[in-house]
Amino acid sequence: MLDLKKSKVRWDKDNYIPKKVYGFETEPFKGTTEEIARTFLRENQDTLKLSDTLNDLKYDKTTESLGASTVLFQQYFEGTPIHGAWVAVHIDKQNRVFMVKNDTVPVTKLNEKIASAKISPLPENEIDSVIDRKIKEYGTLNTDIQKESMIYPLKGILRYVWKVKFGTKEPAGSWILFIDKTDGHIIEERNVLRKADGKGRVFVPNPVVTLNRDDLLDEADKDQDIFKKSYKTVMLKDLEPGGYLKGPYVDTTDTPNSAMCSNLDFRCTREDDRFEEVMAYYHISAVQSYIQSLGFNNDKGILNHPIKVNAHGGTDDQSYYNPSPGKKDITYGDGGVDDAEDAEIIIHEYGHAIQDAIIPGFGQKSEGGAMGEGFGDYLAGSFFYKFKKNESRKVKIAEWDAKGYERGPQECLRRLDSNKHYPEDMQGEEHDDGEIWSACLWKVRKLLGGKKADTVILESHFYLSQYSDFRDGADAIIMAEKNLYGGKKTKGLIKIFKDRGIF
Ligand SMILES: [Zn+2]
């Protein structure tokens, strides 16, 4: 017989049950391991506070290790398994029991609490629609759906639930849901896919900003001593198994010879082609997390699924987002300074993807196209604002990329503080005309503050269409500020667009 006083015990303090008893050794038993375990439990059922009959414990399996056998029983109540309620009996090679673990729910508690849980369950099709909704939220279903009826103890309350398991792709997930049978509430949801964090080295946003130097040159992608202080070691979060830069918001495996590190250590420097993939993975993930932190998450998420990226899309000094159906991916070019070495180019292109995710086909009019360019620049400038110590750099976009232009090094790609006035300064080139729009957005930022402006500007996209022009964009920003923050800044916003000639 088990003597708790002569054993080591860990208690379940809520239920006064010995959860784990060890530090003892029984006499050797006879019989199979299952029989031994049953005999042991019968002899000690009072000490372990198990039910009188042990009928509620069903044998599950025995696992063999080098020095022992482990016999597992699952607890049931009236034919329904109780989640997490297991008994494990550990037997050594001499058939002596040396440990027992007991995670059962006391029978008294079951009789008392379960009675109140016996209410009429929802029809199964209503449960199925809850499951369908979750699948849509998580990605695309790529396995069967397994449903199992269970009792689920949570914080002392026992409920009848469906335990539901399924897998998704894009993003990859292996999901377990516990759904309350009586009201369809999701009590718990878990993604059990093993995801891992990797390490990487990046520029934030680029070495011109970090080192505060305008004399840096590409030198054919060579790593130079001067760059040493501009690298930052970062975490690459939630990488899927496989060793590629593939996670919930970015997938760089469209890059030729895409980076693969089975130990997930992607710390490399700029001359290494993996560097640009690390940059894209890190910065897109960071911006997406920021967007989610503003409230655009779950069913209000914007592009909260993996975007495909080719970090080395050819020798042209050009990057683009491709909105074609079935593509919707980003390509970064390698001409001059590799585009994905400048995080502001990375974010600019992601800006196009965000707009297209909110309004597929955005930018059919040339002013809409200019709003697209202006928004991408704004998003990059706003996101990296706090990383720019030198005030004059805050309004310059992609200073590092501009050092590698064919016509010679330039100050920056574009600015956020242009004086261009509408309509007379329109030139019919979307990037140039985009400076009219980004300058408005930059003033909106000054009026509302960074976070509020970013939120309002993202929200305003939901009020636009494929054919929107500057005027629609300005109206939408005013409406968004009113809906989100009560319209206190309407006057100030009108002034910004009036001064620019848009109103
Ligand atoms: Zn663009």
Q: What is the CATH number of the domain that holds 434?
A: 3.10.170.10
- Among candidates 32, 23, 28, 40, which has minimal Cα distance to 89? 40
Work out whether the CA dihedral 123, 141, 330, 271 comes out positive or negative. Answer: positive
Torsion angle, CA of 401/403/406/408, rounded to 10 degrees? 160
Tally Cβ neighbours within 10 Å of residue 53.
Answer: 10
Residues 107 and 213 in one domain: no
How many Å lie between the centroid of ligand 1 and the Cα of residue 374?
8
41-50, 96-105, 185-194, 228-237: range with lowest mean pLDDT: 185-194
Residues 224 and 208 in one domain: yes
Domain end point (choices 191, 210, 233) = 191
Residues 75 and 161 in one domain: no
Mind listing the pLDDT tens digit for each residue in 111-167?
A: 666 655 566 788 888 999 999 999 988 888 989 999 999 998 877 778 889 999 999
What is residue 123's predicted lDDT score, i.e. its pLDDT? 87
Query: Residues 6 or more apart from 332 whose CB is under 8 A from it?
Result: 276, 280, 309, 310, 311, 312, 313, 319, 338, 339, 340, 345, 346, 349
Query: Residues 6 or more apart from 439 whose CB is under 8 A from it?
Result: 374, 415, 416, 417, 418, 419, 420, 500
Strand pairing class (250-251; 320-322): unpaired
Residues 154 and 227 in one domain: no
Residues 69 and 158 in one domain: no
278 pLDDT above the threshold of 90: yes
For ligand 1, an ion, list residues with CB under 5 A: 373
**Bridge partners, 308 (sequence order):** 251
Residues 341 and 276 in one domain: yes
Between the two ends of the chain, the Cα-to-Cα distance in Å is 89
- Among candidates 104, 74, 89, which has minimal Cα distance to 37? 89
Residues 85 and 178 in one domain: no
How many Å lie between the centroid of ligand 1 and the Cα of residue 433?
12
For 123, which DSSP code?
A: P
Strand pairing class (329-331; 307-310): parallel
How many Å lie between the centroid of ligand 1 and the Cα of residue 503?
25
384 pLDDT above the threshold of 60: yes
How many Å lie between the centroid of ligand 1 and the Cα of residue 416?
14
Mind listing the pLDDT tens digit for each residue in 283-325?
A: 999 999 999 999 998 878 999 899 999 999 988 889 999 999 8
Residues 175 and 237 in one domain: no
φ, ψ of residue 178 to 5 degrees: the values are -115, 115
Half-sphere exposure (Cβ direction) of 264: Cα atoms closer than 13 Å: 18
Q: How far apart are CA 190 and CA 366, in angstroms?
A: 45
What is residue 115's predicted lDDT score, i.e. its pLDDT? 55
Q: pTM for this structure?
A: 0.72
170 pLDDT above the threshold of 80: no
Say how many domains are in the chain: 3
Percent of the chain with pLDDT over 70: 97
How many Å lie between the centroid of ligand 1 and the Cα of residue 368?
12
What is residue 119's predicted lDDT score, i.e. its pLDDT? 64
Burial class (CB in 10 A: 0-12, 13-18, 19+), 108: exposed
How many Å lie between the centroid of ligand 1 and the Cα of residue 127?
44
Domain end point (choices 44, 79, 113) = 113
Residues 19 and 155 in one domain: no
How many Å lie between the centroid of ligand 1 and the Cα of residue 350?
9
**Bridge partners, 302 (sequence order):** none
What is residue 172's predicted lDDT score, i.e. its pLDDT? 76
Domain end point (choices 113, 129, 145) = 113
How many Å lie between the centroid of ligand 1 and the Cα of residue 402?
15
Q: How far apart are CA 288 and CA 310, in angstroms?
A: 18
How many Å lie between the centroid of ligand 1 and the Cα of residue 229?
30
**Domain harbouring 158, CATH code:** 3.10.450.40
Q: What is the DSSP string of 416-477?
A: S-----TTTT--S-HHHHHHHHHHHHHHHHHHH-HHHHHHHHHHHHTT--TT--HHHHHHHH
Q: How far apart are CA 146 and CA 160, in angstroms?
A: 16
How many Å lie between the centroid of ligand 1 and the Cα of residue 376?
7
How many Å lie between the centroid of ligand 1 and the Cα of residue 367?
13
Domain residues for the domain of 293 are: 196-408+415-499
How many Å lie between the centroid of ligand 1 and the Cα of residue 428?
15
Q: Which amino acid is at 286?
A: A
How many Å lie between the centroid of ligand 1 and the Cα of residue 431?
7
Residues 212 and 284 in one domain: yes
How many Å lie between the centroid of ligand 1 and the Cα of residue 332?
11
Query: Residues 6 or more apart from 31 whose CB is under 8 A from it?
Result: 39
How many Å lie between the centroid of ligand 1 and the Cα of residue 401?
14
Residues 158 and 216 in one domain: no
- Among candidates 426, 378, 418, which has minimal Cα distance to 398? 378
183 pLDDT above the threshold of 60: yes
How many Å lie between the centroid of ligand 1 and the Cα of residue 436?
14
- Among candidates 350, 348, 356, 390, which has minimal Cα distance to 373? 348
Mind listing the pLDDT tens digit for each residue in 85-115?
A: 999 999 999 999 999 999 888 877 776 666 5
**Domain harbouring 63, CATH code:** 3.30.310
How many Å lie between the centroid of ligand 1 and the Cα of residue 461?
17
Residues 280 and 313 in one domain: yes
How many Å lie between the centroid of ligand 1 and the Cα of residue 369?
9
